[in-house]
Amino acid sequence: MEIRVLYFAAAREAVGVGDETVEVPDGLDVAALMRLLAERHPGAGRVLGRCRLAVDRALANPSDPVPAGAEVALIPPVSGGSA
Amino acid sequence: MSDEPLSLDAAIASVRGPGAGAIATFVGLVRDRTRGRRVVELEYEAFGPMALAQMESIAGECESRWPGARVAIHHRVGLLRVGETAVSIAAAAPHRAEAFAACRHAIERLKEEVAIWKRERFEDGAEWVGLGP
């Protein structure tokens, strides 16, 4: 199945692209997708390892399924606000 | 969310109403020093649709936890100079205790989970905040 992957902030810089479409095995969960993305971008391992994954714009847990056609986003540690 | 300067008055106006006896506000600014280094400017990047949904959800959380509360959260994105406002929050409630509590809750939750990232630019380089050394 195909999914769309979005990279933000430090993850985008580490990977070198803002988004990509990736062919992945059906029935993948979030943890397996994270491993797959880390293998795909070996130079970005340190940053990707600090990221959480959002599936269709909601933060996901490692055991959550990744549906076909999903839009997933790599979410580095956030720092909204200030002070 | 906006890439233009924020107006605290706009946030206050959007929560003002006949049931409000108090409005507490929080304004987060770009500071000139962090961890001993001088900051030249800050860049905020957001995953817009997700961050907006999260900010709406946090406002809703405050409004259900403190009955009668109304909360507005405005966040700036893009390049900000020292002294500029990065975030404005206004929390209205029937009484001051709930207004302060809702305002505090909103900023703490915002910093915990909203999909907005900050890059500090120093005189000698830049780094994304939150990744550690």
Q: What are the structure tokens assigned to B83, written together? A: 């002294």
What fold characterizes domain B8-121? Aldehyde Oxidoreductase; domain 3 (3.90.1170)
Kindly indicate the confidence band of residue B129, based on its pLDDT and cuts at 50, 70 and 90.
confident
Kindly indicate the confidence band of residue B63, based on its pLDDT and cuts at 50, 70 and 90.
very high
Kindly indicate the confidence band of residue B133, based on its pLDDT and cuts at 50, 70 and 90.
low
Q: Which residues pair with A21 in a beta bridge?
A: A4
Q: Which residues pair with A16 in a beta bridge?
A: none
Q: What are the structure tokens assigned to A48, written together? A: 């990707």
Q: Which residues pair with B68 in a beta bridge?
A: none
User: CA of A81, closest CA in chain B: separation in Å?
Assistant: 6
Chain A neighbors of B31, CB-CB under 8 A: 82-83
Q: What does the alpha-carbon distance between residue B48 and residue B33 come to, in Å, rounded to a whole number?
A: 27
Task: For chain B, give the percent of residues with pLDDT over 90.
Answer: 86
Chain-chain contact of A78 with B30 (C-beta, under 8 angstroms)? no
Tens of pLDDT along B13-23?
999 999 999 99
- Nearest beta carbon to residue B50 from set A47, A57, A77: A57
DSSP strands (E only) in chain A: 2-7, 19-23, 52-55, 58-59, 71-75
Tens of pLDDT along B25-53?
999 999 999 888 899 999 999 999 999 99
Q: What does the alpha-carbon distance between residue B113 and residue A13 come to, in Å, rounded to a whole number?
A: 21
Tens of pLDDT along A22-81?
999 999 999 999 999 999 999 998 899 999 999 999 999 999 999 999 999 999 988 755
Chain-chain contact of B117 with A10 (C-beta, under 8 angstroms)? yes
Kindly indicate the confidence band of residue B131, based on its pLDDT and cuts at 50, 70 and 90.
confident
Residues ≥6 apart with Cβ < 8 Å to B57: none
Residue B124 has pLDDT above 70, yes or no: yes
Q: What does the alpha-carbon distance between residue B57 and residue B63 come to, in Å, rounded to a whole number?
A: 10
Sheet with A19-23: strands ordered across: A19-23, A2-7, A71-75, A52-55, A58-59
Domain definitions of chain B by residue range: 8-121
Domain definitions of chain A by residue range: 2-75
Whether B130 contacts B119, CB under 8 Å: no
* pLDDT score recorded for residue B35: 81
DSSP structural state of residue A68: T
Q: What rounded mean pLDDT belongs to chain B?
A: 94
Average pLDDT over residues B53-79: 97
What fold characterizes domain A2-75? Ubiquitin-like (UB roll) (3.10.20)
**From B55, which residue of chain A is nearest by alpha-carbon distance?**
A80
Residues ≥6 apart with Cβ < 8 Å to B101: B66
* pLDDT score recorded for residue B132: 62
